[in-house]
Amino acid sequence: MKTIPILSPEFAQRRAVRLAASHPEIWDLLDGVYDPELPGLTIWDLGVLQDVRMVDGVCEVDITLTYSGCPAVDAMTKDIKKVLNDAGYEKVNVKVVLTPAWSTAMMSPEGKAHLKQINIAPPSEKDEICCPQCESSKVHVISQFGSTACKALYQCNDCHETFDYFKHF
């Protein structure tokens, strides 16, 4: 199924924050930090990277939790520190913020396209889920939770591929 890509208000707002950023070079560096469980998906594209500030020589990075118990946060925090330390920012403070609460609407269109490439059906507001392999919309749920809290397990009725669906949240 082909859809016309439109920006969600939540993503548009994040993009506005990034475009107006005082330290765009730090945001660019953070494009080198990925979700440990979703290969190749950056924390920007996932929507958890919220803000970056320099305060008294300390680089402060705000990220949101996807799911409250998601263990990926600890890995992402470590990776953010490493990337920034390696680039010469010695003092880095990663803050996990609860507001705004993360939602899949914060994901970038590139992020959603990337999910499809790695065989994960991207989140759909109306739960119109398509098989990432053959694009059929005839699919059924196997389990409401997949390999991680953010995904559900589906199967395509046409090509029989079993795939993860990144839950709309």
Residue ranges binding another protein (CB under 8 A): 65, 67-71, 98-99, 101, 103, 142-149, 153, 167, 169
Q: Which two tokens stand for residue 155?
A: 């199967």
Q: Which CB sits closer to another protein, 19 or 98? A: 98
Beta carbon of residue 72, minimum distance to another protein (angstroms, whole number): 11
- Confirm if 129 and 158 have CB atoms less than 8 A apart: no
Token pair 């107006």 in the structure block, residue: 20
- Provide the minimum distance between the beta carbon of 114 and another protein in the complex, in angstroms, as a whole number: 23
Closest-CA residue to 87 (of 162, 147, 23): 23
d(CA 103, CA 97): 13
13 vs 103, which CB is nearer to another protein?
103
Q: In angstroms, rounded to a whole number, what is the distance separating the alpha carbons of residues 107 and 111?
A: 6
Q: Shortest distance, CB of residue 58 to another protein, whole angstroms?
A: 20
Let me know: does 64 contact 101? Beta carbons within 8 Å.
yes
Q: Which CB atom, from 49 or from 84, has the smaller least distance to another protein? A: 49
Q: Measured from the CB atom, is 69 or 88 closer to another protein?
A: 69
